[in-house]
């Protein structure tokens, strides 16, 4: 358990914010699909003396001396990552998921080359080529979408037609707001036909893949997986690039360092090693399975009560609610209202949304963090009831305050790892 006595004396202002955040997490429900809690062991490692050490290079090939223990922990992280995902090579140095994606592009592409990825409005990610990003000025991006938002089905025939026309060098699977499982085998078949690399950005579902609750793209012949190391993987904030075969590793390593970033953040690399070790244990597989069970149960419970879900359900850890169709409320209003009772989720664009990104029609929510706290299917019903009740009584401040107290009492039965109850 971290002790903050020195911080309390040295910087009371930061200490106050830290204590406030601990209380918020303890007395609230975290349902943002990309957030989770780390174990006390991971939390301790993130604040360790590895922060003090520069380690430019890779194990056995550093530009600074004194690397005995940094080499040991990075090698542990690499070997554990390879074991988790059945990879031939792993680079654990990327500082986050976005830098991992960008480094990967530069490792495999030349400026002007084409990448095919999921459209942001249909669940993709900014780093998959949205025009607002700088990377879109260097590489050319074409997109695929759902053919039917009521089921989430992708149009693989259209994907093939676009691939044959545009000749992408990478076909990218992955998403930040898509509740269904992708057909990796079909995407691999299309990529082979046009001579493209297959890359899976598994940032959201890496933990579910590691825990064998969802399919591993490598099993269908994908070349590369990029991912964050937090979210469902329950590690520190960071990124990682995995390749199925060892031979792509040299290109990736060279582009991560020295091509794109400087030295690794060693306390985070060490914390990744700890998290990967936790994910290799049998109890992590049960956690991953429970995340999916909770998510499916919550989605079903909502739909039984007339809530409109994009794709009418989920295969993974997240779901999207069409708030305008469900309650004639924009997503931002729902987000703010639920914040008032202590349930945190995020406003989100939905497929074919006619509203603006900062005022979208939907919200995104997920079950990784609540599952880490030990909640099961019946608890998902309680959470849904809290949310639906808040929407029902939204014009009554006293009723909202009463709900807030109920949420706090509910949370006390489910301690947050690393936070005193």
Catalytic residues: 54, 56, 201, 228, 231, 237
Alpha-carbon dihedral 361, 366, 370, 372, rounded to 10 degrees: -150
Encode burial over 140-164: b for 16+ CB neighbours within 10 A, e otherwise.
bbbbbbbeebeebebebeebbebbe
What is the CB neighbour count within 10 angstroms for residue 71? 16
Alpha-carbon dihedral 367, 370, 371, 372, rounded to 10 degrees: 130
What is the CB neighbour count within 10 angstroms for residue 403? 22
For the chain, the maximum distance between any two Cα atoms, rounded to a whole number of angstroms, is: 64
Q: Tokens 């994606």, residue?
A: 101
Terminal-residue alpha carbon distance, the chain: 12
Encode burial over 96-123: b for 16+ CB neighbours within 10 A, e otherwise.
bbbbbbbbbbbbbbeeebbbbbbbbbbb
In terms of residues, how long is the chain? 421
């Amino acid at each position: 358990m971290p002790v903050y006595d020195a911080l309390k004396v040295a910087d009371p202002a930061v200490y106050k914010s830290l204590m406030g955040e601990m209380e918020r997490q303890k007395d609230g429900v975290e349902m943002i699909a990309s957030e989770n809690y780390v174990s006390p062991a991971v939390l301790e490692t993130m604040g360790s003396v590895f922060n003090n050490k520069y380690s430019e290079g890779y194990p056995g090939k550093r530009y600074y001396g004194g690397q005995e223990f940094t080499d040991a922990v990075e090698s542990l992280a690499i070997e554990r990552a390879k074991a988790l995902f059945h990879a031939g090579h792993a680079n654990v140095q990327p500082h986050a998921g976005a830098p991992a994606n960008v480094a990967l592009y530069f490792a495999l592409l030349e400026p002007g080359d084409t990448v095919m990825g999921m459209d942001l409005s249909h669940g993709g990610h900014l780093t998959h080529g949205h025009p607002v990003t700088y990377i879109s000025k260097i590489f050319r991006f074409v997109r695929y979408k759902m053919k039917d938002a009521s089921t989430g089905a992708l149009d693989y025939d259209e994907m093939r037609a676009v691939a044959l026309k545009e000749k992408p060098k990478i076909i990218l699977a992955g998403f930040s707001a898509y509740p269904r499982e992708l057909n990796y085998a079909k995407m691999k078949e299309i990529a082979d036909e046009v001579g493209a690399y297959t890359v899976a950005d598994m940032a959201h579902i890496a933990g579910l893949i590691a825990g064998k609750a969802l399919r591993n793209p490598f099993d269908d012949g994908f070349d590369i997986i990029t991912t964050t190391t937090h979210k469902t993987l329950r590690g520190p904030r960071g990124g990682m690039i995995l390749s199925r075969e060892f031979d792509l590793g040299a290109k990736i390593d060279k582009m991560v360092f020295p091509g794109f970033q400087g030295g690794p953040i060693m306390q985070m690399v060490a914390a990744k090693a700890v998290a990967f070790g936790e994910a290799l244990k049998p109890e992590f597989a049960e956690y991953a399975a429970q995340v999916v069970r909770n998510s499916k149960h919550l989605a079903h419970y909502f739909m039984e009560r007339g809530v409109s879900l994009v794709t009418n359900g989920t295969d993974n850890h997240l779901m999207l609610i069409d708030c305008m169709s469900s309650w004639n409320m924009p997503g931002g209003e729902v987000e703010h209202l639920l914040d008032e009772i202590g349930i945190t989720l995020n406003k989100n664009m939905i497929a074919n949304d006619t509203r603006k990104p900062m005022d979208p029609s939907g919200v995104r929510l997920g079950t990784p963090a609540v599952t880490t706290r030990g909640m099961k299917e019946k608890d998902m019903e309680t959470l849904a009831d809290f949310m639906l009740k808040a929407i029902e009584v939204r014009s009554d401040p006293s009723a909202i305050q009463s709900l807030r107290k109920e949420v706090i009492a509910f949370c006390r039965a489910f301690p947050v790892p690393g936070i005193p109850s």
